[in-house]
Amino acid sequence: MAEKKYYDLPELVRQYLYYLITIKNRSKRTADAYAIDLRNFFRFYKIHKSLVNDDAEFSSILINDIEIDLIKTVTLLDVYEYLHFAMEQNNNAAKARARKVSSLRGFFKYLTVNLRILKENPVEHLEMPSLKKTMPKYLSVSESKELLHNKSESNSPTKFRDYCILTLFLNCGMRLSELVGVNLEDIKIEPGSLKLLGKGNKERIVFLNNACKTSIDNYIKNERNIIKVIKDKKALFLSSRTGKRIGARQVQKIVQAALRDAGLDGKGYSPHKLRHTAATLLYQYGHVDILVLKELLGHVNVGTTEIYTHVANDMIKDAVFKNPLADEKILSNKSNKNK
């Protein structure tokens, strides 16, 4: 329960986290991440304001006694110093610091706009750290086929389940949390659709191609239906040992084992990279419009989806070489011998 994780936080922080979950409908996972960030900020702030001994262990600093009077003293400079502390002492990269900025922005906006107990928001003009845009890592078509083929030929007692998991990742581009949350009632084999619960508890529908429909049907008939004791009757993917819904960590292990068996380990691939693979292949070979891809992946902003346009360079290059004049001989630059 939330109380067990949030009991050590200041009362206003606890209120904010419950507000995120119950009113803003944010996921428990998001609230837990914000709790970590705000906990660390206020521990730092007590050190920064000399409210604890210099030799105090950071993780043991109590902050549930912090009240609004102290919170009102926070300035933008204090936050900059905290982000510097996070970078230097905790080796937080830009992405991790960006989440901390989001946590602090949300909390102080809540105090200023919702509760109106702050006249001015000290972090109103706090900018996000610049994030380096990197190309998404993804499997090639041949690697994807090898991954699936190798799993289909395995002697694993959970072969059908694991193959189905790989197939859905590679075809539907779902998140890890979305896959483990799939229930039987979410699946419509005919005409072929699947309801997913994404970030922020937002529902979306993805469509199932023949490969997905067949793999789901085979898993249910050959493995799921013969589990002796099923404890989570709604869940699609179950642990064959416990009969409970499969967890995210177990799926990660399944994917890593499948990659290793297919000779694809050591390349940085993961469940999230399989999602990247699905998105890239859809964009490259399915000629999916970027806005359509945004909806399929459940992105809030199209800017997030635009990382997949990296394949456009290959498509442009291919188009140039298909030009009917591409093989015409170039005029020689040698001097005309008749002159």
Question: Per residue, what are the HEC states of 276-330?
Answer: HHHHHHHHHHCCCCHHHHHHHHCCCCHHHHHHHHHHHHHHHHHHHHCCCCCCCCC
* Cα–Cα distances in angstroms (integers) from residue 259 to residues 118, 167, 265, in the given order: 52, 13, 5
In this structure, how many other beta carbons lie within 10 angstroms of the beta carbon of residue 145? 13
Express each pLDDT in 32-73 by its tens digit.
999 999 999 999 999 999 999 888 899 999 999 999 999 999
Of the candidates 184, 152, 44, 135, the one whose C-alpha atom is nearest the C-alpha of residue 194 is 184
Considering only the C-alpha atoms of the chain, give the largest distance between any 2 of them, rounded to a whole number of Å. 96
Residue 306 and residue 337 in contact, taking contact as beta carbons nearer than 8 Å: no
C-alpha to C-alpha distance for 248 and 200, rounded to whole angstroms: 18
Residue 287 annotated among the catalytic residues of the structure: no
Determine the 3-state secondary structure of 245 from DSSP. strand
Task: Please tell me the number of Cα atoms within 13 Å of 243 on its side-chain side.
Answer: 9
Q: How many whole angstroms separate alpha carbon 214 and alpha carbon 320?
A: 39
Inter-residue contact 76 to 125 (CB < 8 Å):
yes
Per the residue annotation, which of 175, 224, 245, 294 is the catalytic one?
Answer: 175
Bridge partners, 187 (sequence order): 194
The single residue of 195, 199, 204, 310 carrying the catalytic annotation is: 199
CA distances from 30 to 26, 27, 283, 310 (A): 6, 5, 29, 29
Distance CA 54, CA 83 (A): 19
Is 299 among the residues known to form the active site?
Answer: yes
Distance CA 184, CA 236 (A): 5
Catalytic option among 5, 188, 272, 273: 272
> How many percent of the chain have pLDDT more than 70?
80
Greater pLDDT, 2 or 269? 269
Given the residues 46, 213, 275, 276, select the one marked as catalytic: 275
Catalytic-role residue among 109, 195, 204, 299: 299
Q: What pLDDT score was predicted for residue 151?
A: 92
User: Which of 6, 34, 45, 308 is the catalytic position?
Assistant: 308
At residue 82, what is the residue type? Y
Residue 43 falls in the annotated catalytic set: no
Q: Confirm whether 199 is a catalytic residue.
A: yes
Mean of per-residue pLDDT scores for the chain: 83
Residue 295 has pLDDT above 80, yes or no: no
Q: Per-residue pLDDT for 327 more than 70? A: no
Alpha carbons 272 and 109: distance in angstroms, whole number: 32
